[in-house]
């Protein structure tokens, strides 16, 4: 076994013997997989050299795929992005820039993010979507003024703001639960940009999530009054808003009137109805809505199947949920991570952990787990004081080249701390930091307390130095 520096520090008082690996490494033929393995097995500081040694020639598609895969590991992704830019006969695509901008914003490296925006301007690659991404990320971080600044600075970067940009700003604000600010911006700009059904749909959705049904209805009425006909998206949002407000019967009324307005209900609208009935424990109504959809010749997709599975899980009818799962598979509709997570969450809440693990092992054969899936399973085993099993799930996740999120790291580190396995917790903390992921203050604080309790000031100092090497979040201009 090869020990990292942090393991050597933790084990230093107990052993002086060195170890080396004798197991031959299996070569990976797929170039993208080799790149990903290299990125996962090397610290940021040594990544350029390790990537050079692969001898792989990158392509735009490869870079885009890698950046999407490493979207949760901002600084590792950024080092790869910088390395790729130096490769012969290669130039970053707009999609690569956008993926990297999103990753940097996620870890709040805003200065680097704006440097990429400037780089895109110099290469004449900037477009409205670039600024929409930045606005979304700022709004999600509750940086409302910065999101507004991004919209207002577009012209300085040579991109003319238009209705799509305004819709992007309104959407960003609404998704970040700042619908009141979005309404204020809209009221001030609706004479400058002629709003469309999408503009009003964004605001209706925002007020629905507030939740403020009277405001949502008011925006809907304003839209109709000025002569804009609701489209299928607007109807879908209004049905969703009403259902979440507990007005499912009123929502059904809207569905019944859609045909007369030239809009046929979609599987999404039925998924909202099925989900709402499930939340209200009206399982028979949920099944009836699903059957009505099929009788109208509307094909069920994975979203509406997930809603029906969720409805059965809610009332503890797992046999029916598995029956729906078998039905969708027989019709060639592949389950997704949401399908898996709905069932797993229901089982774990009820303490059916063994069955949950069986479902997990079955589901990974037919769909790709997401960060929530792995985090859920790791937390389940940690809560059961089966950290060894949690580590097996972690190992499987790494084998699948899945980059863990900050939350996934935190759950396992906390579980190891609870068990008293400080060495392994420190190894994961070091890996997390080296991937450019800033640990949550609570998680780092808990590990710090354990290290201080054991008198391991050397290890704590090492980790703090690693933390200091992370690029500090710059102040916004």
Residue 6's pLDDT is 60
Average per-residue pLDDT in the chain?
A: 89
Return left, alpha or beta for 158; rule: phi > 0 is left, psi -120 to 50 is alpha, else beta: left
Position 13 pLDDT exceeds 90: no
Q: For the chain, how many structural domains are there in total?
A: 2
Residue 9's pLDDT is 58
Task: Tell me if 202 is assigned to some domain.
Answer: yes
Return left, alpha or beta for 289; rule: phi > 0 is left, psi -120 to 50 is alpha, else beta: alpha
The residue out of 263, 281, 310 marking a domain boundary is 263
Task: Tell me if 173 is assigned to some domain.
Answer: no
How far apart CA 210 and CA 463 sit, in angstroms, is 41
Task: Tell me if 217 is assigned to some domain.
Answer: yes
Task: Tell me if 435 is assigned to some domain.
Answer: yes
Residue 3's pLDDT is 44
pLDDT in tens, 134-156: 999 999 999 999 999 999 999 99
The residue out of 263, 295, 316 marking a domain boundary is 263
Position 409 pLDDT exceeds 70: yes
Residue 257's pLDDT is 85
Task: Tell me if 290 is assigned to some domain.
Answer: no
Span 224-230, average pLDDT: 91
Tokens 């090492």 belong to residue: 462
Residue 17's pLDDT is 35
Task: Tell me if 441 is assigned to some domain.
Answer: yes
Range of the domain at 456: 404-476
Task: Tell me if 352 is assigned to some domain.
Answer: no
Cis peptide leading into residue 211 (ω within 30°) = yes
> At residue 6, what are phi and psi to the nearest 5 degrees?
-65, -35
Q: What length is written for the chain?
A: 477
Span 394-410, average pLDDT: 90
Residue 41's pLDDT is 84
Q: Mention every residue, 6+ apart, whose C-beta is less than 8 A from residue 293.
A: 265, 267, 270, 300, 304
Q: Mention every residue, 6+ apart, whose C-beta is less than 8 A from residue 383.
A: 415
Span 165-189, average pLDDT: 95
The residue out of 207, 241, 263 marking a domain boundary is 263
Residue 327's pLDDT is 93
Residue 185's pLDDT is 96
Position 100 pLDDT exceeds 70: yes
Residue 90's pLDDT is 95
Span 322-351, average pLDDT: 94
- State the pTM of this model: 0.70
Task: Tell me if 5 is assigned to some domain.
Answer: no
Per-residue CA distances from 353 to 80, 347, 389, 409 (Å): 39, 7, 12, 21
Span 70-95, average pLDDT: 92
């Amino acid at each position: 076994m090869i020990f990292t520096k942090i393991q050597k520090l933790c084990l230093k008082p107990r052993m002086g013997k060195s170890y080396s690996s004798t197991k031959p490494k299996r070569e990976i033929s797929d170039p993208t997989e080799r790149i990903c393995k290299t990125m996962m097995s090397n610290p940021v500081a040594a990544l350029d050299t390790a990537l050079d040694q692969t001898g792989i020639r990158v392509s735009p598609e490869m870079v885009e795929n890698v950046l999407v895969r490493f979207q949760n590991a901002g600084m590792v992704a950024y080092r790869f992005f910088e390395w790729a830019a130096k490769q012969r006969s290669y130039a970053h695509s707009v999609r690569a820039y956008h993926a990297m901008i999103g990753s940097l914003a996620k870890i709040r490296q805003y200065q680097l993010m704006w440097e990429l925006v400037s780089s895109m301007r110099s290469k004449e690659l900037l477009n409205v979507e670039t600024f929409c991404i930045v606005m979304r990320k700022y709004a999600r971080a509750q940086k409302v003024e910065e999101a507004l600044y991004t919209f207002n600075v577009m012209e300085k970067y040579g991109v003319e703001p238009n209705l799509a940009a305004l819709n992007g700003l309104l959407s960003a604000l609404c998704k970040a639960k700042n619908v009141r600010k979005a309404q204020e911006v809209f009221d001030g700009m609706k004479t400058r940009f002629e709003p469309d059904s999408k503009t009003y749909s964004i605001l209706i959705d925002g007020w629905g999530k507030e939740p403020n049904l009277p405001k949502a209805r008011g925006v809907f009425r304003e839209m109709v009054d000025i002569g804009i006909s609701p489209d299928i998206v607007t109807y879908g949002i209004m049905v969703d808003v009403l259902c979440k407000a507990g007005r499912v019967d009123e929502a059904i009324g809207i569905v019944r009137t859609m045909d007369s307005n030239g809009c046929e209900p979609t599987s999404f609208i039925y998924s909202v109805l099925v989900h709402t009935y499930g939340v209200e424990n009206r399982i028979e109504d949920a099944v009836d809505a699903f059957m009505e959809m099929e009788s109208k010749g509307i094909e069920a997709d994975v979203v509406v199947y997930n809603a029906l599975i969720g409805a059965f899980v809610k009332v503890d009818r797992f046999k029916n949920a598995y029956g729906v799962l078998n039905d969708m598979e027989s019709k060639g509709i592949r389950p997704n991570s949401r399908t898996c997570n709905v069932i797993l969450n229901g089982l774990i809440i009820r303490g059916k952990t063994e069955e949950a693990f069986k479902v997990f092992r079955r589901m990974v054969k037919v769909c790709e787990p997401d960060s929530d899936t792995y985090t859920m399973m790791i937390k389940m085993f940690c809560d059961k004081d089966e950290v060894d099993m949690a580590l097996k799930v972690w190992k499987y996740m790494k084998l699948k080249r899945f980059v863990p999120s900050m939350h996934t790291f935190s759950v396992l580190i906390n579980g190891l701390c609870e068990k008293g396995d400080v060495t392994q917790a420190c190894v994961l903390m070091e890996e997390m930091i080296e991937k450019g992921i800033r640990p949550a203050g609570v998680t780092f604080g808990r590990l710090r307390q354990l290290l201080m309790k054991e008198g391991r000031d050397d290890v704590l100092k090492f980790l703090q130095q690693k933390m200091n090497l992370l690029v500090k979040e710059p102040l916004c201009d």
